[in-house]
Amino acid sequence: MVKQKRKFGFIFLLFIIPTACGHRFEPALKAEVRLLLDAVQLVSEISRAQFELAENANRLALQSNLNLQFDLGGRPEVRYPALFTAEDHKIRRAIFANLTEYSARLNAIILKSEAENGGLALLADKAFSSRDLGKLGTGSVLSENTLSLLGQGFDELASYLSTPRSDQNLTELADGLNENFEKVAFLLFLDIGGIVNQSEACGKQQQTAPVIPIVIADFPECRSGLRAVTNEALGHVTKTLRLRLKLAAPKELREAKSRPALLDKIYQLEQLRVTIDERLVATRAGVLGLAALHRKIASHLSQSGDPQALTTYLKLPVQRPIDQGFISNLETLKTDVQNSNAKILSALAGEFK
C-alpha cells in the first residue's frame, strides 16, 4: 500500500514540478545538469564493473591456490566464498538508481523537457532508505551517530523521490538535497576506501567519528573497501604463482615449457595490480567530482547565488573544472576497468595474455 502510494506520488511529482517552477535557467546550468546525468550513469557503471572485478580477482586468488594444491597431488575442498553478498550489490544498485533518477528529474525540470527523463519508470520502486544503511559494507569507522546522520540523508533523498511536494520550489529543493547528495557520495567514496594501512594509528581502528563537514582530502587511507580486497586478491595470486615456481622439481624447472609463460604472468599480474588500484583511485575521484558538480548546480540554483550559503557535508579537495573533459575521462575509465576485468577473466580461464 505504502509502496503504491509512493509510486503514485512519484508520478504526480513528475508532472507538478516542471510546471511549478517558473525559472529561466542559464545555459551554464543547463550544461551542468546534462553533465550530472551523464556522470552519474557512468560512475554507476564503473562502480558496478569495479565490484565485478573485485569478485573476479578474488575467484582468481582462490583458484590459483586450489590449482597448486591439485597439481601437488592434493584433493582440496573447492570453495569460492564471494566477497560481497547479493544484498550488498543490490543496495549499491539501488543507490545509483536513486541518484540516476534524481539527476534525470533535475535534468527534465531544468531543460523543461519531458523527453529527457528516460529510464525513470524503470527505477521507481528502488528508493533507498536508512534502514538499508546497516547493510552497507562501508569499511568505515563511522560512529552510530554519523551513520544515523547519513541515514537521514538517504531518507530525505528517498522521500524526495517518492512523495509529492508540489509547493516546494526547486531552489530550496536542490539546496536541501545537496547535503544528502554529498552524503551518498561519501559512502561511495568509502566503498572504494584505501589499501589497509598497517600503521599503528590505522591498525587500531579507533571509533572516532569524523568531524562534519568531513575533510575528505585528508581522510585516512586505512579504510578497507574495494581497493583493499582487490589488492589482497591479486597479491594472493602472485604469491601462489611464485610458490608454484619454488615447489617445482629442479628437472621440471629446467625443462618446463610453461615457465616463461608463468614468469610473464607474474609480471603482468603485478602490473595489473598497480593499474587496477590507480583506476579505483580515479573512480573515487570521479565520485568526488559528482559531489562537486552537484554543489555547483545547487549553488547556481540558490537564490543568493552564493556557494558559501549552501549546506554542505564534505570539504572537497580542489577540483579540476568539471566539464565535458570530466565525462570523457569517466568514459575512458569505464573502458579501462572493463579491459582490466577482461584480463582477470582470461586469467581465470587460463588464457592470460
Partner 1 sequence: MKLDEMSALERLRYAEWLLDNQDLSDIPKKTQLEVLAAQQAIYMEIQALQARPVSMRSSEYSTLTKEFSESREFFEALEGWANEANKSGKAVEAILKGVMTVLTVL
Residue numbers at the binding site for partner 1 (CB under 8 A): 58, 61-62, 65-66, 68-69, 72-74, 76, 79, 81, 83-85, 88, 133-142, 144, 147, 196, 198, 203-205, 207, 224-225, 228-229, 232-233, 236, 239-240, 243, 246-247
Decide: helix, strand or coil at residue 214.
strand
Instruction: State which residue, 3 or 135, has the beta carbon closest to partner 1.
Output: 135
Question: Least distance to partner 1 from the beta carbon of 164, Å?
Answer: 32
Amino acid residing at 146: T
Q: Is the dihedral of CA 341, 343, 344, 349 positive or negative?
A: positive
Instruction: State which residue, 233 or 282, has the beta carbon closest to partner 1.
Output: 233
Question: Least distance to partner 1 from the beta carbon of 266, Å?
Answer: 15
Question: Least distance to partner 1 from the beta carbon of 77, Å?
Answer: 9
Question: Least distance to partner 1 from the beta carbon of 210, Å?
Answer: 13
Distance CA 241, CA 243 (A): 5
Distance of CA 290 to the CA centre of its chain: 11
Instruction: State which residue, 7 or 239, has the beta carbon closest to partner 1.
Output: 239
Question: Least distance to partner 1 from the beta carbon of 80, Å?
Answer: 10
| Alpha-carbon distances, residue 241 vs 64, 245, 254 (angstroms) | 7, 7, 17
Instruction: State which residue, 136 or 173, has the beta carbon closest to partner 1.
Output: 136
Amino acid residing at 162: S
Mention every residue, 6+ apart, whose C-beta is less than 8 A from residue 216.
Answer: 186, 189, 288, 314, 315, 316, 317
**DSSP codes of every residue in 38-96:** HHHHHHHHHHHHHHHHHHHHHHHHHHHHHHHHHHTT---------SS-HHHHHHHHHHH
| Alpha-carbon distances, residue 36 vs 31, 92, 151, 323 (angstroms) | 9, 18, 23, 10
The three cell numbers locating residue 118: 528516460
Dihedral-angle region of residue 78 (phi above 0 means left; psi in -120 to 50 means alpha; beta otherwise): beta
Q: Please say whether the beta carbons of 255 and 305 come within 8 A.
A: no
Instruction: State which residue, 103 or 240, has the beta carbon closest to partner 1.
Output: 240
Q: Please say whether the beta carbons of 229 and 54 come within 8 A.
A: yes
Distance CA 289, CA 326 (A): 8
Question: Least distance to partner 1 from the beta carbon of 45, Å?
Answer: 21
Instruction: State which residue, 55 or 101, has the beta carbon closest to partner 1.
Output: 55
Question: Least distance to partner 1 from the beta carbon of 168, Å?
Answer: 32
Count how many Cα atoms sit within 13 Å of the Cα of residue 213 in the half-sphere of its side chain. 15
Question: Least distance to partner 1 from the beta carbon of 295, Å?
Answer: 28
Instruction: State which residue, 18 or 194, has the beta carbon closest to partner 1.
Output: 194
The three cell numbers locating residue 126: 528502488
Instruction: State which residue, 4 or 207, has the beta carbon closest to partner 1.
Output: 207
Instruction: State which residue, 61 or 292, has the beta carbon closest to partner 1.
Output: 61
Question: Least distance to partner 1 from the beta carbon of 318, Å?
Answer: 30
